[in-house]
Structure 1
Amino acid sequence: MRTAQFLALLAAGQAFLGIAAAYDIPIAARIGGIESDFTTLVYNKTGPVLIGNDGGAASGGFHAFAIDDGGRLTETKHETPGRTKLVTTAYGVGGRDLIITIAQPDSFFRLYDAGTVEQVGEPLTRTLGDWSALCVWRSQSSGEQYLYLFGKKQVVQFLLRVAHGSIEIVEIHTFDTPVEASSCAVSSSTRTIFFSGDDSPKIYAFNTTESTQVPDIAIFATAEADVTGLSVYVGKKSDYLFWSVILTGDDDIEIQGLNFYQSATKSYPAGVVTYAIESDSGTGFGLSSLEEIFDDFGLQINTAYNPRKVPYNTKPSVCPECGFNGFCETRGICVGANQCDCDEGWGGLYCAFKEVKPVAETDANGGDGDDPAIWVSPIHKTMSRIITTTKSELGSGLGVFDLTGKRIQTITAAEPNNVDVIYNFPAGGRLIDLTYAACRKDNTLCLFEIHRNGTLAPISGGVQPTKENYKVYGSCAYRSRTTGKQYLFVNAKTAEYLQFELSWDDTSRSLETTLVRNFTGGSGGQVEGCVSDEANGWVIIGEEPHALWRYGAEPDDDVSEGFLIAEVGDGHMYADVEGVTLVEGTTANDGFILVSQQGVSAYNVYRRAAPHGYIETFTTVDNIEKGVDAVTNTDGIAAVGTSLGPLFPHGVVVVHDDVNQLPESGTSDEASFKLISLGDILSDGLLEELNSNWDPRS
């Protein structure tokens, strides 16, 4: 009877085993007449007990079946707290083994003694929602036990513990998942949780963690058909992940809620796999012997496994000095409910952000700043300039500052938002530098010439239209290495991007633009910051509430689907995703992408080369010696990795500060921008990837 396809993988840090085969599973025992989804097993001295949910009748609950000496399933108990979908077991909680369920009518956790199947205490921790999977993880580091409760594209992590003589369930945090999970499984040795969704062949995974940091979720494997169940078998040297998929046979059988019993019984010397079953003949529970399955796969059977003897350290991760409500972080100690006293040099959320001090700040200028750009001087790099935007009516325009932050010039413009620099643009027989911004007041593209001394001047054709009923927001520039043509990107809050070719008309002796492409960037959320990578032919855009994306920057590139670099909730990125900048390296594969995160006033660093691996997060702190305050509610960011003299020997990062605190107390009505040495952000090894002599005009 062909019911499921199994795939086994070696976990525990070993390589992919690559065993995949459709397998006909003989059903050794079966109970019908129950609408079921999940099974769990109790390791009792008298023999294994199968626990299965009852999601059909209003009274529902769960059933307990002893697996007797003849290999049959004999019902021993039926608890009826209401229609129930989820059941699992936890061992050694205050010296007691527990069955854990959630009844759908009232959404309370209920605990039952696994030996007597009697309820323990009152219902706990009401958790409203349509929950679809439940797994238990016991940390080998601390011995603490955690519940992972999956629902509508989210998972809630709980701590299951004994406090003041009673068992309690404490919510730790909630994070999003790419699908609604229909099954989950845990590998304790690899600290990994696997989950899958209905109507999908993809299996996802994330690492468990004793903190409130959101984990990275990735696709672990893709089956040949939709996955219906997952379970981990604890091997002697490594764990095996098994899954079942839908197969349509003569009996149209589907199994889910897989679970393994890894001890020998009289009828099943290799142990059993249990499952909820649905077929043309009805619904219920079944079990099969593991012996033939493991023989066919050539895997080692481990019947010595004992869930009560999972090795762990005696030091708990949940700290008593926090009222048992906080985590001891790697770079700090807990001083309150999820509050940390961080080690020197670390701060931010859970002591996870590297702290750096700005070495200078620009003079206060304009009512509402936004975005900076850095212009590298062709005369001497110490004469390079910082160009900033003021997007409010008060002081509307661009500001120019030297590398100490002293204001050199201001020039009026129609509320520019983002600003960028264009080098060596051919204009009437000469090569000039330009600064470009999207001007929100009149929805135009604003351009100014940059003189060799770094000051700005109007240029003929420096105000270019976009299109009717279009409202500009963010912008960046791109020059094609293929054709040599110069392009201007501009976007609206609606995520509609326009790409214009910029050229010089010798007849009118002025700039002109031609619309060559428009497209929707990201997933439809509000966008603003962007930066081009000319060597790789990319434009990288920030979708404020959601993610960082990459698209081809050439006019004929396919933009039907972007490359997702990072997204809010992946464990490293936080909303709003604002400014984006690129630090050039020695080759097209070297260098880094820096991203501003307004909600936490911090910045992420990613690899320039695909797949753009995350490196670190940094934030700013007060530089008391220099009288420079930390950044608050940051927005735009710009950076270069070339040496700019003794102040910035490895390059500079310039960031927007929305709330400029004054040395004598209080805050300024005008914005400022902070200057940070790139050498204070990147380690020596990462700095070696940069070219200290990088020339943007070469």
Structure 2
Amino acid sequence: MKIIAPLLFASPLVLAACATQELPIEARIAHATPAVMVTARGETAPVGTANADAADDPAIWRNPADPAKSLVLGTDKKAGLHVYDLAGKSLHFLDAARINNIDLRDDVVINGQRGVLAVASDRTDPANAKLALFRLDTDSAQLSLLGHVAAGPNEAYGLCLGRDAAGLSAFLVLKDGTVRQILLDTSGATPSGRIVRTMKLSSQAEGCAVDDRTHTLYVAEENVALWRFDARASGSTAPTKIAAADGKNLVADAEGVAVAPIGDRDGYIIVSSQGDNAYTLYRIRDDSYVGRFRVGPGSIGGTEETDGIEMALGDMGPKYPGGLFVVQDGENAPHAQNFKFVAWDDVKNALGL
């Protein structure tokens, strides 16, 4: 989401990022590091809220028995939550009010049975953050609300899930850069959670993702940098900078974050470089810059001003070899916003990975 606000006593890096944002998009693209081009192979139906900044964040459930029948969840932050198939059809819509970001985990104990748990940041009350918890019935592609978990004061914004020895945690990113780790319990009739840690960045942040293999939390501070934290409930709360929003490799706003895991400790972190309509990759094993790409127009339109992104590697059916990369499209005229589907092999080939 592009927000440019007055900044008092801001750091030079933040001021430079805001100055870059003020440039026309053509100038931002010209100033940035070159990006290769790929095209989408699919897209979802537009969200129901027209003429508004509405679609925001996706999550992917991979069907292990038949990957082509996997499901994609997508938020309409003005109205609720969609369940899409890989043809982009909305199979179910749940009126869930103002939810913003969404993530899911399989094999979670829900009311005594194992299933798929989806968790969203609930912005209905800007003064009091909440998590909205849902069960995804993968046979019927239906969502049902399990309940809400209070998450402290201020407005809920970004969200991602992670597992460690302590259990399943929701990482809730507030608008002011505060990150709360909430340990969840969905084993009983009513879900509950408790805040086990608080971390802090200096300014507005939203996009986040957790690598469960390495217990690493990645957070995009929109005008400043991509950071990583120890994601374990017992870990340090100090952030480590991976890359600055320098207007070149990463152009503010830095938005959605996704992890493409390969092997035990390798793979890529992908960040939406929203300021120049691109996506930037960093290598997990050493935080090094890898490359950039854009989703350009083809038989399906390209993407602009992307908020949320998600990645699922592996077999996702014949249309998406190598995996599925889902991106929110902030400009889908003449229709409402939607989500575009990209084959991971197309990205790999374009970048020579």
Bin of the TM-score, shorter chain as denominator length: 0.7 to 0.9
Equivalent of residue 503 in structure 1, options 139, 161, 185: 185
**Aligned partners of 1:598, 1:350: CA distance in 2, in Å?**
12
Counterpart for residue 391 of structure 1: 77
Q: Distance in 1 between matches of 2:12 and 2:122?
A: 39
- Matching of residue 614 in structure 1 with residue 289 in structure 2: yes
Q: Answer yes or no: is 1:514 the counterpart of 2:194.
A: yes
Q: CA deviation at 1:545?
A: 0.6
- When residues 647 and 558 of structure 1 are mapped into structure 2, their CA distance, relative to the original with a 3 A threshold, is same
Aligned 1:13-92 pairs, distance under 5 A: none
Secondary structure at the residue paired with 2:115? strand
Q: Deviation of residue 349 (structure 1)?
A: 5.0
1:453 is aligned to 2:125? no
Residues 379-430 of structure 1: CA distance to partner in whole angstroms, max 9, x if unpaired?
A: 31111011101112xxx11111111211111111121111101111123432
Closer/same/farther in 2, CA of residues 685 and 372 from structure 1, 3 Å limit: closer
Q: Is the 8 A contact 2:62 2:70 kept in 1?
A: yes
**1:235-266 deviations in Å (ceiling 9; x for gaps):** xxxxxxxxxxxxxxxxxxxxxxxxxxxxxxxx
- The percentage of aligned residue pairs carrying the same residue is 29
Q: Deviations over 1:590-644 (max 9, x none)?
A: 21111001111110011111x3111111012111xx3x11112111111111111
| Equivalent residue number for residue 15 of structure 1 | none
* Partner AA of 1:476 in structure 2: C
Give the conservation status (yes or no) of the 8 Å contact 2:205–2:222: yes
What amino acid sits opposite 2:113 in the alignment?
Answer: R
**Equivalent residue, structure 2, for 1:255:** none
Kept in 2: contact 1:377–1:454 (CA 8 A): no
Is the contact made by 1:618 and 1:681 (CA closer than 8 Å) also made in structure 2?
A: yes
Q: How far off its partner does 1:686 sit?
A: 6.7
Residues 1:678 and 2:344 aligned together: yes
Cα 1:684/1:352, change in 2 over 3 Å: closer
Q: Distance in 1 between matches of 2:316 and 2:180?
A: 34
Amino acid of the residue matched to residue 270 of structure 2?
L
Following superposition, the deviation at residue 447 of structure 1 comes to: 1.2
Contact 1:505 1:512 in 2 (8 A): no
Q: C-alpha separation between the residues in 1 aligned to 2:243 and 2:179?
A: 20
Which of 414, 417, 428 pairs up with 2:97?
414
| Structure 1 segment 546-695 matched on structure 2, within 5 A | 546-559=224-237, 561-569=238-246, 571-587=248-264, 589-609=265-285, 611-623=286-298, 626=299, 628-661=300-333, 667-668=334-335, 670-683=336-349
SS in 2 for 1:639: strand
Counting only pairs closer than 5 Å after superposition, residues 140-289 of structure 1 correspond to structure 2 as none
Tell me, yes or no, if the aligned pair for 2:112 and 2:187 is still in contact at 8 Å: no
Q: Secondary structure at the match of 2:156?
A: coil
Cα displacement (A) at 1:684: 8.8
Partner of 2:20: none
Cα separation, partners in 2 of 1:562 and 1:351, compared to 1, 3 Å: closer
Which of 1 and 2 has greater Rg? 1
Please give the secondary structure, in 2, of the residue aligned with 1:619. strand
In the other structure, the counterpart of 2:21 is: none
CA distance in 1, matches of 2:222, 2:351: 31
Asked if the contact 1:577–1:597 (Cα under 8 Å) also holds between the matched residues in 2, the reply is: yes
- Which whole-Å CA distance do the structure 2 matches of 1:504 and 1:448 have between them? 10
Cα-to-partner distance string for 1:443-473 (whole Å, 9 max, x where unaligned): 320111111326233243x211122x32111
1:536 corresponds to which residue? 214
Q: Cα gap change, 1:586/1:617 in structure 2, threshold over 3 Å: closer, same or farther?
A: same
| Separation in 2, partners of 1:387, 1:671 | 14
Identify if the C-alpha distance between structure 1 residues 605 and 370 changes in structure 2 by more than 3 Å, giving closer, same or farther: same
Deviations 1:469-491 (A, max 9, x none): 321111111111x34x0111112
Measure the CA separation in 1 of the matches of 2:187 and 2:120: 20
What does residue 380 of structure 1 align with? 66
Give distance in 1, aligned partners of 2:232 and 2:190: 24
Could you report, residue by residue, the CA deviation over 1:53-72 in whole angstroms, capped at 9, with x for unpaired residues?
A: xxxxxxxxxxxxxxxxxxxx
Q: How far apart, CA to CA, are the structure 1 residues paired with 2:140 and 2:309?
A: 20
1:348–1:619 Cα contact (<8 Å) kept: no
Structure 2 unaligned residues grouped into runs of 5+:
1-10, 18-25
CA distance 1:605–1:348, shift in 2 (3 Å)? farther
Alignment of 1:132-143 (within 5 A): none
Would the aligned equivalents of 1:655 and 1:675 in 2 still touch at CA under 8 Å? yes
- What secondary structure, in the 3-state scheme, does the structure 2 residue paired with 1:364 have? coil
Shift of the 382–519 alpha-carbon distance from structure 1 to 2, 3 Å rule, reads same
| Structure 2 residue identity aligned to 1:466 | A
Q: In the alignment, residue 289 of structure 2 is paired with which amino acid?
A: Y
Tell whether the 8 Å contact from 2:32 to 2:248 is kept in structure 1 after alignment.
Answer: no
1:527 to 170, 180, 205: 205
Contact persistence 1:545–1:576 (CA under 8 A):
yes
Give me the TM-score of the superposition, normalised by structure 2. 0.86
More helix by share: 2
Structure 1 runs (4+) deviating above 3 angstroms are: 347-351, 683-687
CA separation of 1:686 and 1:486: change in aligned 2, threshold 3 A? farther
Aligned-residue Cα RMSD (Å) equals 2.4
Letter in 2 for 1:634: T
Instruction: Give the distance between the partners of 1:436 and 1:686, measured in 2 at CA.
Output: 35
Report the equivalent of 2:7: none
Contact 1:384 1:454 in 2 (8 A): no
Does the CA contact (< 8 Å) of 2:104 and 2:118 recur in 1?
A: yes
**How many pairs were matched up?**
327
Match of residue 107 from structure 2: 424
Classify 1:351/1:599 alpha carbon distance in 2 versus 1 (closer, same or farther; 3 Å): closer
Offset of residue 505 of structure 1? 4.7
